[in-house]
Amino acid sequence: MLIDLHTHSFVSDGTESPEVLVRSAAEQGVDVVALTDHDQTSGWQEAAETALEVGIGLVPGIEISCRTDNHISVHLLAYLHDPLNEALLAEINKARDARVTRAQRMVEMLSEDYPISWELVLEHSHRDATIGRPHIADALVAIGAVENRSEAFERILIPGSKYYVGHYAMDPVTAVELVKQANGVPVFAHPLAAARGRVVQDQVFHDMIDAGLAGLEVFHRDNPAHAQQRLLEMAQKERLIVTGSSDYHGAGKPNRLGENSTARDQLERILELGTGSHSVGIR
């Protein structure tokens, strides 16, 4: 059974609609897919309807932006939480709003050196999408400043670049607590993805585990091999769920559906723990 628990549609920074994404998953032989858009769940309904139609399983999820007090970005996946839980929703919406102001500031600074505007960025993002650097990257591609998103990140949008601006996001420990309160299953996304920027110290892992972290996304292309080994050992020691996934973004990234996957018994643990919403079509 091929289980891919981390994908993005165009309601965040993927390039496909939730419907097309689920159809793509079915075509690629994925049996269960989780839709985990950044900081929003507006794709769930369409994804669920399509999953039923094409006969694959769907786990509703989200990837929550977090930031430690020393400004390290952490992504927390949550599965099967109650999407209307007020405390969690308030924090997620605050981060989503902060992303807009932050992107506008980045575009303002970029516009001193590139012919780029906020309007152009909006043209390259779906209406109501969670705005991120990938949308700025797409605008940079459109004006011919770079070939693709990857080049935009490497050369222009990476933390440390003079154009980089951070944004408000809640602490990962708070995020774990809120996901638990919303009856969801919190899983630390690509925990040791060093190429994306600084990664957290062991203390943060332990604080998140004490708060109720349920799992680690071990099998992900951005966790280097030695880091995957370390994460596996930690998961075993702390009895955490181990997941693997593609982090598919459609045409926005080279990541292919099902390139990494989650074992069936680990999915079962997630399905047992998550009671805030319902999975669809898992056989």
192/200 Cα distance (integer angstroms)? 8
User: What CA–CA distances, in Å, run from 244 to 75, 101, 119, 195, 240?
Assistant: 15, 33, 37, 18, 13
* Residue 72 near residue 128, CB atoms below 8 Å: no
From the list Zn ion, Fe ion, ligand AMP, none, partner contacted by residue 133 (C-beta under 5 to 8 A by kind) = ligand AMP
Strand pairing category for 3-4 and 185-188: unpaired
Name every residue whose Cβ is closer than 8 Å to that of residue 29 and which is 6 or more positions away in sequence.
2, 258
Q: How many angstroms from the chain centroid is the CA of residue 200?
A: 17
From the list Zn ion, Fe ion, ligand AMP, none, partner contacted by residue 229 (C-beta under 5 to 8 A by kind) = none
217/126 Cα distance (integer angstroms)? 28
Rule CB under 5 A: say whether 75 interacts with Fe ion.
Answer: yes
From the list ligand AMP, Fe ion, Zn ion, none, partner contacted by residue 253 (C-beta under 5 to 8 A by kind) = ligand AMP
Rule CB under 6 A: say whether 67 interacts with ligand AMP.
Answer: no
Rule CB under 5 A: say whether 138 interacts with Fe ion.
Answer: no
Instruction: Give the side-chain half-sphere CA count within 13 A for 180.
Output: 14
From the list Zn ion, ligand AMP, Fe ion, none, partner contacted by residue 150 (C-beta under 5 to 8 A by kind) = ligand AMP
Q: Kindly state the helix (H) or strand (E) to which residue 3 belongs, with its residue range.
A: strand 3-4
Mark the segment that binds Fe ion (CB under 5 A) among 7-15, 114-122, 205-213, 254-262: 7-15
* Residue 50 near residue 44, CB atoms below 8 Å: no
Rule CB under 6 A: say whether 253 interacts with ligand AMP.
Answer: yes
4 or 247: CB nearest Zn ion: 247
Site for ligand AMP in 141-160 (CB under 6 A): 149-150, 153
Among 133, 180, 190, 220, binds ligand AMP (CB under 6 A): 133
Rule CB under 5 A: say whether 13 interacts with Fe ion.
Answer: yes
Q: Extract the tokens encoding 144.
A: 């011919």
Residue in 253, 60, 66 with CA at minimum distance from that of residue 176? 66
Classify 214 as helix, strand or coil: coil
Taking residues 106 to 125 in sequence order and writing x for each that binds ligand AMP by CB under 6 A, - otherwise, the string is --------------------
Taking the complex as a whole, the smallest distance from the CB of residue 53 to ligand AMP amounts, in Å, to: 27
Rule CB under 6 A: say whether 249 interacts with ligand AMP.
Answer: yes
Rule CB under 5 A: say whether 16 interacts with Fe ion.
Answer: no
Q: Which residues bind Zn ion (CB under 5 A)?
A: 63, 247
Q: Which residues bind ligand AMP (CB under 6 A)?
A: 13, 38, 132-134, 149-150, 153, 196, 249, 253
Q: Which residues bind Fe ion (CB under 5 A)?
A: 13, 75, 189
